[in-house]
Structure 1
Amino acid sequence: MDFIPKLVMDLIFSWGRMFTALALSIAFSIAVGVTAATSKRAENVLIPVIDVLQTIPILGFFPVVIYLVVLLVPGYVGINAAVVFLIFTSMAWNITFGVYEAVKSIPDELIEVARISHLTKFQMLRSIYVPAAMPRIAYQSAISWSVGLFYLVTSEIFSTGSSNFAVQYGIGTEIANLVLMKDALTYATAIGFFILAVLLTRWLFIRPLAIYSEKFSFKEEQRASKRSSVLAFYSGVGRFIEKHMPIVTVEFKNQGEKKRQPLKTGEAADSKGISAGMVSAAIVSTFIVVSAAAIILTNDYAFAPQLLAALGLSFARVWGMYLICAAIAIPVGIKVAKSAKSYETVFAVLQIVASIPATILLPAIVALLLVMPFGNELTALAIIFFAMIWYLLFSVIAGVRTIPEQFGELLSIYKVGWVRAWREIYIPAILPSFVTGSITAIGGAWNALIVAEYFSVGSGASTTVMTQVGGGIGKLLDLATFQGSLMHMFLALAAMVVMVMVINRLVWQRLYRHVTLKYRIE
């Protein structure tokens, strides 16, 4: 057991990097989110740019950290700064959109009172914008923490071409080394310590932050139910989703009281007008033109069909797993949300399980699935599944929990069948939040491809490939990064970004506008 002090030290260093990245992400999100929400000109530029940045997987930032951060700040400090930056890129965009939407949802009367009181910009930030965004910061920080853990191994060991870097102390690095040494006992112990650290973080940090943020709610009503002190946070997260996520909430008028309808995604798009659309179109056009020019100038025409084939394979994996996840998340989510007695307990367990990243368990997943037919493909699909399912499941639970309790009583009184209840009550209630959850889930799946389609540990000559599929955009991006082929890396990133942005604009944005208008219950 002499390895335990080393594991504790690894966890302390990794958690220090995680908290540093989270603090920077929150500061960045407040600055950018508030600016975008309060300035139309800034909104038209910043929101499309952030939308692109959240589409870029963490590998896309490897050249930035290697050629800028590490070279500008040499030595161990530079490597740690690079790791913090990589974790930051997996956390910041999610919190930024949360702050942006929260500030956009501030009641007009409150803004008017602030203007009449002649508050300065700093006073507005301290007294109105930050307090209004606190519930979303708390909720989005919990999600971003889980996303950061997902990419912890990838962040603490990064390379491109012949440049390989790794931190001296870090649980991600340690787990990678244990896999190389095939030390099953120490690996299992490391996983146990990792899970313990996750639970302590939720109990000592995320839970208090969540409870503290409740003070800043604009809404007074609370769902009446018994809550144990242990489960207070998890039921609180449910309330945050219901109350403070404008993109996943169906608002009701209850007992004659009018509630302010938060700004929806579709409405936000309309309010931004053609300028934001032009910015998005310009970004997509730039990627396409530069990609075409790169292929022509380098005479690398053979890479184009390879790129398209890889994109097609990844598209099939992502959307195939999306259908499977949706088929599981909808009935399970409705069942969990409807259960008054076991809701807190089940939701708590789901939150704990969801906070354990699949990448940490990847060696166990590989050992279990690689012995089966199409083992590499099954491993990739399993990683994609875990990257998607929680977003969909929690969005369904959030949608169902917005339904007033009177609806359930009416269903019982009039003996409405479950088929009709699902068709006329539950499905309409979950659709706005489910569409939003789908956007996030699919975005997470595209980013997870860099782990799902190709995963290796070690660096340089000691690199060991644990799993890889026959082809895919994630694998293509991984190989281009590790081989130092910046052009192929850019082309793979450009193809992924363009596809995600086009689908978001042509499918998800229109679908969200449709469901929020059609299924908004008042």
Structure 2
Amino acid sequence: MSNFFNYSSFPGIRPRSGADTADMSRSGAVRRIAADVVVAAGVLALFGVVAWLLPQINEPIGPSGVPSTVSDDLHLLPYYALRSVFRMFIALFLSLVFSFIYGLAAARCRRLRMVLIPLLDILQSVPILGFLSATVTIWMVLFPGSILGVEAASIFAIFTSQAWNMTFSFYHSLLSEPQELDEAARSMQLTRWQRFWKLDVPNSMIPLLWNCMMSVGGGWFFLTASEMISVNNRTYALPGLGSFVAVASEHEQLGKVLWAIVTMVIVVLLIDVLLWKPLTAWAEKFRITQNESVQDKTSLVLSILRRSGISDALALVGRPIADLMFWLTRPLGRTGARWPAAGTRRRTLDIAFMALMAVACLAGLWMLVRFISDGEGFAEVGHAMVLGLITFMRVTLLTVVCSIIWVPIGVKIGMNPRISRFAQPLVQVLASFPSNFTFPFVTLWFIAWHIDISWGSILLMSLGTQWYILFNVIAGASAIPDDLREATRAFHLDTRQRWTKLILPAVFGSWCTGGITAAGGAWNASIVSEIVTYGHTTLTANGLGTYIANATAVGDTGKTIIGVAVMSVFVVGVNRLFWRPLQAYAERRFSVA
């Protein structure tokens, strides 16, 4: 056989010799060492930056107290960027932990779900300024004499802009787990800890990852409000990009605002290259499919990590931790077979639980009514309801228009890895970029073109909330199993049939999740969109956002509570009457099972 092939006839093909194999081995070893060096340098740099920043966020408060402004020196922009990114990712980590605990409790316990999901609607509807006005003093008391109290308040504010949509995403992923995988976990009697890491988290990975990206974008949008905290007639300023832009806008220094925008774009691109792109490429292995992706997503950073020995090091450290957690979580029980609960006992417990919740809700409502009657009066509530109706119409128009625009675009990006490779960085820049950085320029444009802020505020609100719809649709489209895509091609379905039979049903649940978070985000964004300021020029639109912003700035607690309560009523009412039925329909008709 060795003489059967004449390799001289094929110049591009020749048998590998021992020298070739040795060369390849040496080349692989060199690449492995280079990858190890790069990864080690990156890890050391990360820990070095964190170690450098930690002492600075725990500095004692000076004799004059917490500063009410920051320097607008351009040389401080890199430092401000590091401080902002540090806050952002601490808040993201806390949001992820919160999403796991809260979403798991709501999905696994039917009675808790009846309380936790409506409560999540209320939490989502409470604006960031509402959280800040109620918690800044608490954080200052917890960390007396230290700037850490204001830092904690800022991180908590960013957390409230990130956690809710991540929790919604994880919760709905748990409810839509494929039945065969659920039965497999039960038949193997996995412990609850094992099921969480082997089924729950992997099944939710793709949509949760995209919502993490969107949460960071939401955090950037409220960066100015979280770094330049103005409550109760007092301002607390922290070093960061948001506070820098606020000071530059106040001084009408558009050049410095532009430099902050350039810095922000660089930060977003670096985060995309170093974090989001590797994670989205890695998360492809969690797609539910029997075929390989048509075109795998690639990432240079992920390739370097895989070539290095970091996976072996993590496995060496992680295996004892995993074994320890297995033994510690054994008392939580195993995922066993489904056993129907006794009918009479179940109904009795349900009635008792609902009665307890009803008493708690009535007690809270009675306290609120007494507070209003002793303070502002119910005429003020009626005024806030009218303003809420105006903002509600803006939110509704925004949601409809953004859905019409971004659903087709999100499907195109999510179903085509080639387009996703180039579109994802652009989408990341647009979504993660804090659009309120551009508000000074938009304000000047509104003034020059005589645009009514009542309509212009819809544009400002959309700049920060439309991406919830786009990101969730991208996640839903990218998670469509290749088997179903192949089936549509095998049956020669035309474009209309593919959209009605596969695409729209597949992304409908993701659109619902994006729609409910976009609407909630729009209500929050109304606070910074219905009243915009540049220098000595202020444009104000009638609406609930303006009402809450003005009440919070002057420390009017009564009006702040009324505004937050009215906003909660609108958001929870729309969620209960519109979004929840749509989500239930999506889970019933369009889940992969």
- String of CA shifts for 1:307-355, please: whole Å, max 9, x gaps: 1220111011111222222332244445556767645433442333222
Matching of residue 87 in structure 1 with residue 158 in structure 2:
yes
Query: What letter matches 2:432 in structure 1?
Result: S
Could you say which residue in structure 1 is the equivalent of 2:209?
138
Gaps of 5+ in 1: 234-270, 458-462
Matching of residue 198 in structure 1 with residue 268 in structure 2:
yes
Choose the corresponding residue for 2:259, options 173, 186, 189.
Answer: 189
TM-align CA RMSD = 3.6
Choose the corresponding residue for 1:385, options 448, 453, 462.
Answer: 462
Q: Aligned pairs, how many?
A: 471
Largest Rg, 1 or 2 = 2
Could you say which residue in structure 2 is the equivalent of 1:13?
83
Further displaced range: 37-46 or 367-376: 37-46
Matching of residue 514 in structure 1 with residue 589 in structure 2:
no
Matching of residue 307 in structure 1 with residue 389 in structure 2:
no
Q: Distance in 2 between matches of 1:506 and 1:279?
A: 24
Shift of 1:375: 3.6
Q: Distance in 1 between matches of 2:193 and 2:485?
A: 41
Query: What letter matches 2:389 in structure 1?
Result: G
Could you say which residue in structure 2 is the equivalent of 1:441?
518
CA contact 1:395–1:433 (8 Å) conserved in 2 = yes
Shift of 1:513: 2.7
514 and 217 in structure 1: CA distance in 2 versus 1, 3 angstrom threshold: closer
CA contact 2:98–2:163 (8 Å) conserved in 1 = yes
Could you say which residue in structure 1 is the equivalent of 2:138?
68
1:283-432 to 2 correspondences below 5 Å? 289-298=366-375, 300-334=377-411, 336=413, 342-398=419-475, 402=480, 404-406=484-486, 408-409=488-489, 413=492, 416=494, 422=499, 426-432=503-509
Shift of 1:441: 1.5
Choose the corresponding residue for 2:540, options 468, 492, 510.
Answer: 468
TM-score, normalised relative to structure 1: 0.78
TM-score, normalised relative to structure 2: 0.70
Query: What letter matches 1:467 in structure 2?
Result: L
Query: What letter matches 2:485 in structure 1?
Result: E
Query: What letter matches 1:485 in structure 2?
Result: D
Shift of 1:407: 5.4
Matching of residue 48 in structure 1 with residue 118 in structure 2:
yes
Could you say which residue in structure 2 is the equivalent of 1:485?
556
Query: What letter matches 1:406 in structure 2?
Result: E
Shift of 1:20: 1.4
Q: Distance in 1 between matches of 2:355 and 2:461?
A: 32
SS in 2 for 1:224: coil
Shift of 1:51: 2.8
301 and 33 in structure 1: CA distance in 2 versus 1, 3 angstrom threshold: closer
Query: What letter matches 1:187 in structure 2?
Result: V
Matching of residue 111 in structure 1 with residue 185 in structure 2:
yes
Q: Distance in 1 between matches of 2:109 and 2:500?
A: 41
CA contact 1:21–1:87 (8 Å) conserved in 2 = yes
Matching of residue 159 in structure 1 with residue 239 in structure 2:
no
Query: What letter matches 1:388 in structure 2?
Result: T
SS in 1 for 2:436: coil
CA contact 1:36–1:100 (8 Å) conserved in 2 = yes
Shift of 1:57: 1.4
Shift of 1:177: 0.8
363 and 142 in structure 1: CA distance in 2 versus 1, 3 angstrom threshold: same
Could you say which residue in structure 2 is the equivalent of 1:246?
none
- String of CA shifts for 1:388-414, please: whole Å, max 9, x gaps: 322333444455553733355367x47
Matching of residue 229 in structure 1 with residue 303 in structure 2:
no
122 and 429 in structure 1: CA distance in 2 versus 1, 3 angstrom threshold: closer
Shift of 1:59: 0.9
CA contact 1:231–1:345 (8 Å) conserved in 2 = no
Shift of 1:468: 2.0
Q: Distance in 2 between matches of 1:123 and 1:513?
A: 28
Shift of 1:82: 1.1
429 and 88 in structure 1: CA distance in 2 versus 1, 3 angstrom threshold: closer
Further displaced range: 59-68 or 476-485: 59-68
Q: Distance in 2 between matches of 1:306 and 1:37?
A: 38
Question: Once the two structures are aligned, what percentage of the paired residues are identical?
Answer: 28
CA contact 2:111–2:350 (8 Å) conserved in 1 = no
Query: What letter matches 2:120 in structure 1?
Result: I
1:172-187 to 2 correspondences below 5 Å? 172-187=242-257
Shift of 1:165: 1.1
Q: Distance in 2 between matches of 1:9 and 1:397?
A: 34
- String of CA shifts for 1:51-76, please: whole Å, max 9, x gaps: 32122111111123222112332331
Q: Distance in 1 between matches of 2:580 and 2:150?
A: 39
CA contact 1:318–1:442 (8 Å) conserved in 2 = yes
CA contact 1:13–1:170 (8 Å) conserved in 2 = yes
CA contact 1:21–1:88 (8 Å) conserved in 2 = yes
Q: Distance in 1 between matches of 2:216 and 2:516?
A: 19
201 and 277 in structure 1: CA distance in 2 versus 1, 3 angstrom threshold: farther
Gaps of 5+ in 2: 1-71, 304-346
Q: Distance in 2 between matches of 1:111 and 1:72?
A: 43
CA contact 2:214–2:468 (8 Å) conserved in 1 = no
CA contact 1:284–1:498 (8 Å) conserved in 2 = no
Query: What letter matches 1:161 in structure 2?
Result: N
CA contact 1:370–1:376 (8 Å) conserved in 2 = no
Q: Distance in 1 between matches of 2:504 and 2:354?
A: 31
Query: What letter matches 1:24 in structure 2?
Result: L
CA contact 1:45–1:276 (8 Å) conserved in 2 = no
Shift of 1:511: 2.6
Could you say which residue in structure 1 is the equivalent of 2:307?
none
Shift of 1:77: 1.6
CA contact 2:277–2:299 (8 Å) conserved in 1 = no
Shift of 1:472: 0.5
Could you say which residue in structure 2 is the equivalent of 1:58?
128
